Structures are given as C-alpha cells and as structure tokens.
C-alpha cells in the first residue's frame, strides 16, 4: 500500500472543501483551486477536519495514482491557505531585474533585455534589483515559472554567474592551469 496515499490530509481553519463525485474544490484565504478526481480513487471527508484518499480497487493504475493524488490535494490545501514561494537570485556584474506592468524584465548579459510575462495566478516581485520572488497558490505553476526564469541564464561552473535559487550552492570548477 502507498505510504504517502495512506496519510491523512489535515484541513486548516479558513479552508473549505467541496466534494462532488468528479471534482474537488478547495477554497481558502489566498484563492480557490479545483481538480478532477480520478475514477479509480475516492475521497472521504472525516469529522475532525481531515480528508483521506481511498482506492476503489487494487489495479496498478489506481496504486500509481493513490500517492500522487494525495500529494496534489495536499498541495491544493496548503496553497490556498499559505501559498507557495520561490526566490531566485541574480549573480553577476550588471545583472538586474525589474517589474514593468506584470512583466519581468531581466538584464543578464545579453545584448537585449529579456521580458517574461506572469501567467495568471502567479505574482512576480523584485527586491533590490537582484532578488526575484515568485508566489502563487499552485505549486506546479510556481515551480514551472521559476525554472523557466532560471533557464534563461543558468549558473555557470567557472565564475558562478547566472540565475540561482536562493540558498543554491554552485560547485566551482578550477580554471586552466599554466605550465
């Protein structure tokens, strides 16, 4: 049995869950999120403000979906109550970022600035020109947009310049040695 799928999802105060046969709607102070329920799973709402994901059968596909769907529902509950945040740092001489009408402008060593539009549900903010904060209620979207921004100029191993996640450490390589 799935160890993750067996775990109970605690529902914090301020978050409401609406269950139908095909969909789950989660509404909280940060926003609202919904997802369709796979036909091989069912959701049971307990009296002590918690949810449990159960399998209808023991097929391979339902066992595969059990832990995944439990994690997705848990992320929906956490996202609507607290939200998710990723922080990126710019390292390099002249590297800077700014926000212009919900779009992120990056100057990262190219001959032109790079412009990135914020998708719906994602909020971008820049602090002190070198720190980009990405926040939203959907963990998947926050991670995806942060990875897209990072892929514009990934950190290089010789000087460590580029766009890094906060707290990320780049193992620097030794340069050429002379004889």
Q: For residue 109, how far is the Cα from the chain centroid?
A: 27
DSSP conformation class of 174: P
**Whether residue 147 sits in one domain with residue 121:** yes
Of the CA atoms within 13 Å of residue 2, those in its CB half-sphere come to 24
Range of the domain at 128: 84-165
Is there a single domain that holds both residue 98 and residue 126? yes
> CATH no. for residue 130?
3.90.930.12
The predicted pLDDT at position 2 comes to 63
Q: What does the block give as tokens for 2? A: 């799935």
Other CB atoms within 10 Å distance of the CB of residue 109 = 12
Residue 91 resides in a domain: yes
Q: Tell me, what's the pLDDT at 46?
A: 87
Whether 7 and 75 map to the same domain: the answer is yes
The answer on 100 and 62 residing in a single domain is no
d(CA 94, CA 10): 46
Residue 175 lies in a domain: no
Q: How far apart are CA 164 and CA 43, in angstroms?
A: 39
50 with 113, same domain?
Answer: no
CA distance 92 to 94: 6
Residues facing 9 on adjacent strands: 51
**Residues 118 and 158 both lie in one domain:** yes
Helix (H, G, I), strand (E, B) or coil at 71: helix
pLDDT of residue 98: 93
Per the structure, the count of domains in the chain is 2
Residue 176 lies in a domain: no
pLDDT averaged over consecutive 10-residue blocks of the chain (179 residues)?
Answer: 83 91 92 92 88 90 91 94 95 92 90 92 92 94 95 92 92 82
Instruction: Note the pLDDT of residue 75.
Output: 95
Q: Rounded to two decimals, what is the model's pTM?
A: 0.86
pLDDT at 179: 67
């Amino acid at each position: 049995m799935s160890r993750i799928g067996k775990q109970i999802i605690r529902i914090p105060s301020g978050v409401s869950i609406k269950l139908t046969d095909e969909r789950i709607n989660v509404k909280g102070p940060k926003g609202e999120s919904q997802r369709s329920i796979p036909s091989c799973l069912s959701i049971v709402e307990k009296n002590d403000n918690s949810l449990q994901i159960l399998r209808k059968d023991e097929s391979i596909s339902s066992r595969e979906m059990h832990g995944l769907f439990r994690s997705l529902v848990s992320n929906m509950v956490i996202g609507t109550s607290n939200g998710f945040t990723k922080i990126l740092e710019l390292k390099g001489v002249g590297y800077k970022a700014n926000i212009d009408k919900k779009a992120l402008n990056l100057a990262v060593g190219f001959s032109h600035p790079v412009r990135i539009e914020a998708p719906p549900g994602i909020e971008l903010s820049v602090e002190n020109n070198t720190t980009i904060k990405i926040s939203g209620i959907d963990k998947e979207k926050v991670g995806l947009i942060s990875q897209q921004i990072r892929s514009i100029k990934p950190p290089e191993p010789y000087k460590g310049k580029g766009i890094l996640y906060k707290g990320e450490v780049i193992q620097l390589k030794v340069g050429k040695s002379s004889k």
